[in-house]
Chains A and B, each alone.
Chain A
Amino acid sequence: MSMVIIIISIFNIEFYAVVPSIPCSRLALIGKIIHPQQVIHSFVHAIMGMLVTWCATVMTKGRFQFLAVSCTPSEGLEDAVPQMCLNEYHLFFLLSGAFLGYSYSLFYLINNMNYLPFPIIQQYKYLRFRRSLPLLIKHSCVESLHFVRNFCVTYYFFGYIPKVWICTTMDLHTDGKLHPLDTLSGLLDLSLFYHTWLSGVFLLMTWYIAWLLFKIYATESHHFPIQPTFAQETDQCLPKILNSNPPLLIKFLALQDLMLLSQYSPVRRQEVFSLSQPGGHPHNWTAISRECLSLLSDLTQRLIAQQEAAAAANGRAKPPVGELKVPPQTPGAAGIEDMSFQSQSSPALNYKMGVVDIKSPWHGPVQSPHVMRRGPKLWTSVSDQQMNGSHHESFPVLSAARTGTEAVQPRFIYTWLQNKQEQIKTFLSKRALIMYFFSKHPEASIQAVFSDAQMHIWALEGLSHLVAASFTEDQFGVVQTTLPAILNTLLTLQEVVDRHFKLPHVSSKPPRISGSLVDTSYKTLRFALRASLKTALYRITTVFGEHLNAVQVSTEHKKRLQQFLEYKE
């Protein structure tokens, strides 16, 4: 039994993840199930299940204990030698254990039970455990019922296979006197059902408790020192850990610690605001703020990329027939298109780099599909000419024609390949079965973008609390020099998040299932991110008040800050 628990715990540790992996399409889900790692997981769990039920049968004694028992002697049989018969109850138990183990593993996978949710409030471990225990027991009982019922149905249809196999391998006879279990009358045995259910409850409860304890211990908040007191501790201090690339769990714990220290610990805040000796550099603050800001700008870029992909998909959603009908142009025209393509791509690249130029055409919501085309253009549209009108005049037509002839040939093959690809895609998209597997579930893909948003939420809270506290606690003014960068990053992120929420499906909340053991908080992380972003901005503006007008930010951001100061956002 203890070996079983140890192996289960090892599996928990091997498979945990702080960021849930969300399958975006049905094919991805199937891929996840048949992944070799998952197959091993299920197989081992099935064997564990069998072992546990074997232990249960040993403990129960009675009729379940042995696989082979002597057969009941028939009335008229003169044969004195008792034959060994298969004890079908024992076999039923072992198989139910295997089935339960496999179902547990499947359930684990589908519900992302390897995801470690961090608690919304800090509590001592014992209190957390005690709080979850009643729900766990209730859940085990209900689930065991469901699994046993499913198993009975499976055994009814397929129970003869293992029976026959064991009988032939172990040279046992089936007892003719007793009812075979894979019939309705055999399965309606209440005592058997009760025993199976009880062993299922026992199995599930032990496994769930192991899982719960692992979760509680792994997500416990860990205290990272800011200033290392001993030389060997330098690798463990918070700024170092944030700047290196630690395993994801360590990074999560470090960010959680940052969030806690910024709210509750004036002593550690002082360490963050302190200067180094003898140089007088604010290493700690620089490291922490740089890491938080890079996390947030990384999220900003990811969201922008997602929005562009969504807008491009909208563009391509128009009937692709129009594209296929357009023939390749003459070289001269193609040359000019080449120029327009190049000049068009630069604002796009700029945008990708995160530099949001207000005058760029990408700033506002872009709807025209023509503008979104990344590939070489086969025609110029009116909007493009307006955009590139200024560029056209500056380029001498002569050089354009020369480069145009050289660039024409490879581009021709490229466009032909593109057309063929589009043709195949259109053909396949008409086959419903393919689309069934490949279609991206919108809600799942949105959740996938925000799957690691917990890091960003903590970075926001930690940063804003530190900035707010620095109003009174920062003796050397280390925070003031970074205020423009912080405000710029936060306001840009807020703009991008607001725009992201205007996309379809993003602002709709998934249905909430209360009272379930499985944590689904990763599905609503984007709402928590939006709320904590707004709160972070208000925290800074409330504390600094009118002093923020002296900070150097762009005019657009100044206007938004004014809205925040007047509580109009």
Chain B
Amino acid sequence: MFPHLSGLTLPCAPSRAGCTVRAFAWHPHTNKFAVALLDDSIRVYNSNSATVPSLKHRLQRNVAAMAWKPLCASILAVACQSCVLVWHLDPTSLSTRPSSGCAQVLSCPGHSPVTSLAWAPSGERLLSASPVDTAMLVWDVSTETCVQLQWFGGGGVTYLAWSPDGSKVLAATPSAVFRVWEAQMWTCERWPTIRGRCQTGCWSPDGSRLLFTVLGESVIYSLSFSEYRGEMQGQVGGSKTASIVADLSETTFETLYGEERIGGEVHSMVWDPTGERLAVIIRGHPESPNSQPAVAVFRTRNSPVFELLPCGFVRGERGARPQLISFHPCFPQGALLTVCWSSGKISHIPFFFVGALEPHASPRRSPVPVPAWHPRASPPSGAPHTCTGAGCAAPAPIKGGFSLPLLSSP
């Protein structure tokens, strides 16, 4: 029925072997994260408390994405098969099974399955999108009203990303077109790619640069936007063309363990909130015996010129493939990368550095040590083990390197 969706593989579809974690989301202000498991339950882990609330609801099926509401203690939006569930959790409660009455159901006819969610950074609006619906919904969660942003042609939305300054939204479609919306008057710019659809994208902290990758190509593109002054209503302000900033085609590395072939298409990409580190999951070549998916980390800088330098790789245990990556939104000593592996482990890798820019606001508490979760004694099947960062992977030294034309922004 939808021929343009035939090549679409949703992340963590149950048919993919070895996928135990469906979705992962860090809370934007505290040391709390939510993990969606294969059995459609969601666990919330908090470093300050030992209770792990488990969220279950009869409408919570095929969870594809989760997002915590910014500027809030604990409201979690979950993208499910037929609706969007918004859980209102009590941050001080010790209950391990919050009742289904805490969940608000936001549904709209024709808008299912919901696969991407994005909260506005000011915390007021929630965007939800489905690859089947050619309309993106802007929800006002408290009054349960929604506005449909419709367009014609090109299919639904496969990936949503709201820029951290709240001015722009990236919406990738299953066809070879992606849209960038500006969030004041909700007009959009259409960007046709040369081949393939936009696989993933991420914004710089000030919303002036978008890095994205295209399915079938192993390069990272960069698109810059004029600075948002607030006076240009209704204009997205994107530059005319995107430029290539990194080429991630397959290269051979000599390591202590032998020859390693790393490189290929990009599966997902995240940029840390200080704009200093970029993490990329590189899918290896399925035919090549030695190539395995790896997480590559780059050092980046956005001002005065854009710079992207390779920093290292993160490799898990033997046979474990990285599936989801995410940066901690407010790690005071640098950046904290969380990787969810196919073996069910979740690892946190800290990067300690002093940022080039001063943090925007003073930290709310004294410096937090790297969170250490102890593996459970007898975990139920399917539950992920977590381990501290130090024990998981050491960044491999770089010999040779990627061919990286260092392009400065226009």
Report which A residues bind B (CB closer than 8 A).
119-124, 127, 131, 263-268, 461, 465, 471-472, 509, 512, 514-515, 521, 524-525, 527-528, 530-532, 534-535, 538-539, 542-547, 565, 567-569
Contact = CB atoms under 8 A, between A and B. Distances in A.
Contact of A121 (B91, B138, B231): B138
B75 to A, nearest CB: 9
Nearest to A569: B73
A220 B232 CA distance: 17
Interface in B349-396: 360-364
Interface in B314-372: 360-364
Q: What secondary structure prevails in chain B residues at the interface with A?
A: loop
B147 interface: yes
Given A131-B148, A542-B361, A528 B91 contact: no
Contacts of A534: 72
Given A121-B138, A122-B184, A528 B143 contact: yes
Contacts of A514: 108-109
A230 to B, nearest CB: 20
A565 B364 contact: yes
Interface in B69-99: 71-74, 91-92
Nearest to A263: B122
A498 to B, nearest CB: 13
Nearest to A525: B143
A197 to B, nearest CB: 26
A530 B185 contact: no
Nearest to A522: B143
Contacts of B186: 121-123, 127
Contact of B71 (A119, A268, A528, A539): A539
A262 to B, nearest CB: 10
A524 B139 CA distance: 14
A524 B230 contact: no
A120 B124 CA distance: 10
A123 B185 contact: yes
Contacts of B72: 534-535, 538
A567 B91 contact: yes
A267 B147 contact: no
A565 to B, nearest CB: 6
Contact of A546 (B92, B145, B364): B364
Interface residues of B, number: 38
A534 B138 CA distance: 20
B190 to A, nearest CB: 16
B121 to A, nearest CB: 11
Given A131-B147, A465-B122, A547-B362, 16 more contacts: A123-B147, A124-B185, A124-B234, A127-B186, A264-B230, A268-B230, A472-B360, A509-B144, A524-B144, A525-B143, A527-B143, A532-B142, A539-B123, A542-B71, A545-B361, A567-B91
B177 interface: no
Contacts of B125: 120-121
Interface in B109-146: 109, 122-125, 138, 140-145
Contacts, number: 98
B89 to A, nearest CB: 12
B364 A545 contact: yes
A521 B147 CA distance: 13
Given A264-B184, A264-B230, A538-B71, A131 B150 contact: yes
B30 interface: yes
Given A121-B186, A568-B73, A530 B230 contact: no
A497 B186 CA distance: 33
A366 to B, nearest CB: 26
B228 to A, nearest CB: 8
A535 B144 contact: no
A542 B73 CA distance: 11
B91 A569 contact: yes
B58 interface: no
B191 to A, nearest CB: 20
Please list the 7 inter-chain residue pairs (A to B) with the smallest Cβ-Cβ separation, ordered nearest first. A531-B142, A265-B230, A538-B71, A524-B143, A527-B142, A528-B142, A264-B230
B73 A567 contact: yes
Contact of B138 (A120, A531, A539): A120
A124 B187 contact: yes
B16 interface: no
Contact of B29 (A263, A268, A528, A542): A542
B229 interface: yes
A264 B207 CA distance: 14
A266 B361 CA distance: 19
A266 B143 contact: no
Nearest to A461: B124
Contacts of A531: 141-142
A394 to B, nearest CB: 44
B362 A535 contact: no
Contacts of B229: 266-267
Q: Which of A121, A461, A525 has the most B CB atoms < 10 Å from its CB?
A: A121
Contacts of B231: 265, 267
B182 to A, nearest CB: 10
A263 to B, nearest CB: 7
Given A123-B186, A538-B71, A567 B29 contact: yes
A448 B287 CA distance: 68
Contacts of A568: 73, 91-92
Q: Which one of A119, A120, A569 has the highest number of Cβ atoms from chain B below 10 Å of its Cβ?
A: A120
B381 to A, nearest CB: 33
Interface string B24-49: 00000110000000000000000000
24 contacts: A120-B138, A121-B186, A122-B185, A123-B147, A127-B186, A131-B148, A266-B230, A509-B144, A512-B144, A524-B143, A524-B145, A527-B142, A528-B140, A528-B142, A530-B142, A531-B142, A535-B71, A538-B71, A538-B72, A539-B71, A539-B122, A542-B29, A545-B363, A546-B364
